[in-house]
Every structure is written in structure tokens, then in C-alpha cells.
Amino acid sequence: MANTFGKIFSVTTFGESHGEGIGAVIDGCPAGLTFDEAFIQSQLDRRKPGQSKITTRRNEPDQLQILSGVFEGKSTGAPIALFIPNEDARSKDYEHLAETYRPSHADFTYEKKYGVRDHRGGGRSSARETAARVAAGAVAMLLLKNVGVSIHAYVSRVGDIEAPQYTQLDLAQTDSNIVRCPHAPTAEKMIALIDKVRLERDTIGGVITGVIRNVLVGLGEPVFDKLHADLGKAMLSINAVKGFEYGSGFAGSRLRGSAHNDEFVNEGGTIRTRTNRSGGIQGGISNGEDIYFNVAFKPVATIMKDQESVDRKGDPVTVEGKGRHDPCVVPRAVPIVEAMAALVMADFLLRSRVDRI
């Protein structure tokens, strides 16, 4: 398995949904970074289950344990090991799935690839693994704060209900409601839709928008490690993600070059672009403007309705709709998107320090 992400600031995650716990090992974090454990825990709290009526009822405190790499409140330069115990795993809830392939899950593909699978909540393929990413990403955010980089994500769409563009929003209001949409009228509609879908024993997808501000000019590595390429890989590695676009994205393909190009201007001695259809990245390298992107999430594959499938022998079976799952994953995925963006940006920040003599 490819369990490591990043080249200098690298993160290896471990653990399964119903094992003893999950965690991450960070290598390449510079020594002397002030370690704000309360901030890391706050990010985990934003992702943890059981937050509201529109999230899974699994009750995990997700209490962080720091095992190594930190001394007297600062990073030492040694690998930082983070561990999060599993405390509310109910493995018996999955006994009926030991021989069955759930629709749109990784059961079939994992078993065919490895010859074995952990049917308890999906094992390694479970979204439970993303808690480790959030913890590691919070450390990356602490590093980025030293150079003024900020990362914000929010729910911009649920089903067909869509919020205004990020430039019209106060992103500080993202956590003011349970759906994490910083536009109150839209948030109310989103919450009502998710609750309706939940009562219908179904699920629904949505979109998370990410915004990275105060980015240094020059981050990104042509040709294959373009900044947007690594952001895309990071987002597409998140469970349930089906699409990624940045800047003008697919809508830009409808325009002519004369309408799409970002013209350069000199504002008080600072060179910048008049518009930002490039999404803060040109030629795979950051240009100093806001980096903004959209991440599309499919409806959660586990629904509370019976579905038809097959077992290991290929015989038809009915998969029972039961368990504790999110009717819509996007509210809890906001800190995951922020974490993966932070891991990318922290890695490129450190890599940029060897660009010139």
C-alpha cells in the first residue's frame, strides 16, 4: 500500500476503523516549531463523528496522543508520532458483511487486490483513517502560520443547493452552523435537505470549496509536481471524492482566451493579476493570488435501505441497510480538505528552500 504522502514534509498514516486505533507519523517537520496541541485537537473535534443530527452516531472522542517528536512544547526534528484510539467500534454490526460485497464500497476491489479484507467498517479503506490526516494536517497548518499562509474550506453545495462564491462570503462564519456553510440562508436549506434525506434512509453528496490565502509566489515544481497536480492528488485521495477543479475549472473551457486570461498589473509596486481565473497557480507554480478549488463528494455508499449484491461465491444476496453512517459526508469533510491542502502547501514550502543558491 502507498501509505505515505509528501516528499520533505511527509506523512505516513496507519490503523483501521475497528483496530486499536489510527495514527500518523510525520517526518521532515523542522525542529523548533511551537506545538499547539489544543489547536490540533480542535481540528480533530471538527472532524469527529457524533457532532449533530446530520452526522453518524458513532461516538469517538478522538483524543490525540503525542508519542514522539515533541519536547517542551516544540518539535525536535525527530519523527512526530500521533495516535488516536478507537473507543466506540462495534464490530458485531458488520458480521453480516463478512462474505458480502457492499455496493460502491472497496470490499470487492480490496479483496481481489490483497486476497484478504477487514470487513469491520471497511478496515483500512474506512473514512476513519482520515482522522490521522487531520491531525497531521493541523501540524502542517502550524508550520504554514509562520509564513502567514491561511487555509479555509467550507461546504459550498449539498445536492442542488449552492452557496455564493467565496469572495462574497465571510469564511470566519463557516463553523457557525452544523453544515459548515458560511452563508446562513443557504445553510438552513442544506440542513433541511440532509435531514430529509436522512429520514428517507438515504444519502446525498455535495461540494467543498477550499481557499488558500497569502501564498508565497513560486511554490510548485514543474513538470510533474505542479502545485495544482499535487492538490488534486491530495483531494482525490480522500474517501468519497469524485472530482477536483481549481480556478475557473471546467467552466473555463467554455471561454475564449481573451476572456479567460489574467492580465498583470502593478499595484503600488506589487505585481499581481487583475483577475484570478488561474486560481492562484500559473504553469504549476503559485503566483501569490488566492488559490481556490472545489472538491466533489459522492453520496455516502452505505444507505439504510436494502440493496442487491453478491457474495464471495457470486451468489445473489441482499445487503441490509443498518449501522451508523453519515447521510451527507461533506460537513465533517471540511477539516479533511483543509488538512490535505496544508500537507501539500507545507511540503512545497520546504521544497522551495532549495530552489536557488
CATH number, domain with residue 106 = 3.60.150.10
Does the pTM of the predicted model rise above 0.75? yes
- Residue 146: the pLDDT is 95
Q: How many domains does the chain have?
A: 1
Measured from the Cβ of residue 90, the count of other Cβ atoms closer than 10 Å reads 12
Residue pair 205/328 in contact (Cβ under 8 Å)? The answer is yes
How many CA atoms does the CB half-sphere of 306 hold within 13 Å? 6
Exposure b/e, 174-198, CB count within 10 A at least 16 = b: beebbbbbbbeebbebbbebbeebb
Lookup: cell for 102: 457492499
Sign of CA dihedral 323, 203, 108, 89: negative
Residues of the chain with pLDDT below 70 are 1, 58, 89-94, 323
Phi, psi of 114 (to 5 degrees): -105, -15
| Contacting residues for 16 by C-beta, under 8 A, at least 6 apart | 22, 118, 120, 121, 123, 124, 126, 128, 129
- Residue 58: the pLDDT is 66
Domain that holds residue 189: 4-354
3-class DSSP assignment, residue 144: helix
